[in-house]
C-alpha cells in the first residue's frame, strides 16, 4: 500500500487531502474557539476546499502526462465529489461539538430513529450523496473530455457509473428504508 502512495502522485494527493482536511479542521476550530482568533480559524477552514482543487488538478495533470487511468484517478474524482458535498456538513458537525465543549454552545442532538426528523436528516444526507455523484461525474467528465483518450475514458466512465450505483443503494437503504420502517408505515401493515 505504501508503494502505491509513494509511487503515484495522485494517491499521495488523496492521502494529503484527507489528512489535510482533518488538520485544517482541527486547526481552524482550535484557532477560532480556544485561541479566539476567529479570522485565522475561518481562513484555515477555507483552506479545505483548496485541497480538493489541488487533488483534481493532480489527477488531470497525471493523465495529461500519459499515466494509465485506474483506481486512483477515479477515486480522486469521487473523493472530490464527496469532499465538496459532505465537507460543509462535517465542518458544521465538528463546529457544533467544539462550540458545545469550549464555548458554552448547546449540546448537539441526534434525531431519534423512526421520527420524521430522522427521515428528513436521511433525505438531506442522500441529497448530499447525489451532489457528490454529480460533482464526481462532472469532474471525471471534464477530465475525459480534456485529457483522457481511448481506454482512459472507458476506465473513468466506469467510476461515474459506480458513483450513481452508490447513490441508488443509498436511497434504498437510507431514507426509503427509514421511511418504510417508521411507525406510520408499520401501523398500516
User: What is the DSSP code string of 82-147?
Assistant: HHHHHHHHHHHHHHHHHHHHHH-PPPP--PPTTSHHHHHHHHHHHHHHHHHHHHHHHHHHHHHHHT
The confidence score (pLDDT) of residue 185 equals 58
The residues of the chain scoring below 50 in pLDDT are 189
**Cα 154 from Cα 119, distance rounded (Å):** 37
3-state DSSP: the chain helix, strand, coil percent, rounded to 5? 85, 0, 15
76, three cell numbers: 480522486
Give the helix/strand (H/E) hosting 7. Answer: helix 2-7
Is 33:99 a contact under the CB 8 Å cutoff? Answer: yes
Range of the domain at 12: 2-188
- State residue 74's pLDDT score: 86
81 vs 172: CA distance, rounded Å: 20
pLDDT at residue 5, rounded to an integer: 67
Half-sphere exposure of 122 (CA within 13 A, CB side): 21
**Beta-carbon contacts of residue 170 (< 8 Å; ≥ 6 apart):** 125, 126, 129
Domains identified in the chain, total number: 1
pLDDT tens figures, 13-55:
999 999 999 999 999 999 999 999 999 999 999 999 899 889 8
Structure confidence at residue 65 (pLDDT): 82
First-to-last CA distance in the chain?
A: 50
User: How many C-beta atoms surround the C-beta of residue 48 within 10 A?
Assistant: 22
- The confidence score (pLDDT) of residue 188 equals 56
Residue 3: other Cβ atoms inside 10 A: 8
Predicted local confidence at residue 43, as pLDDT: 95
Amino acid at each position: 500500500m505504501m508503494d502505491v502512495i509513494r509511487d503515484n502522485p495522485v494517491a499521495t494527493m488523496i492521502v494529503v487531502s484527507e489528512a489535510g482536511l482533518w488538520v485544517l479542521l482541527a486547526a481552524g476550530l482550535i484557532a477560532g474557539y480556544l485561541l479566539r482568533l476567529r479570522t485565522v480559524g475561518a481562513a484555515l477552514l477555507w483552506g479545505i476546499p483548496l485541497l480538493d482543487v489541488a487533488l483534481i488538478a493532480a489527477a488531470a495533470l497525471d493523465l495529461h502526462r500519459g499515466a494509465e487511468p485506474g483506481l486512483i484517478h477515479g477515486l480522486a474524482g469521487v473523493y472530490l465529489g464527496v469532499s465538496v458535498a459532505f465537507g460543509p456538513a462535517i465542518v458544521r458537525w465538528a463546529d457544533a461539538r467544539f462550540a458545545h465543549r469550549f464555548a458554552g454552545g448547546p449540546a448537539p442532538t441526534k434525531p431519534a430513529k423512526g421520527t420524521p426528523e430522522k427521515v428528513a436528516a436521511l433525505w438531506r444526507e442522500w441529497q448530499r450523496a447525489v451532489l457528490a455523484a454529480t460533482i464526481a461525474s462532472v469532474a471525471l467528465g471534464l477530465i475525459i473530455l480534456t485529457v483522457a483518450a481511448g481506454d482512459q475514458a472507458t476506465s473513468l466512465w466506469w467510476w461515474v457509473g459506480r458513483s450513481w450505483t452508490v447513490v441508488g443503494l443509498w436511497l434504498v437503504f437510507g431514507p426509503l428504508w427509514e421511511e418504510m420502517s417508521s411507525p406510520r408505515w408499520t401501523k398500516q401493515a
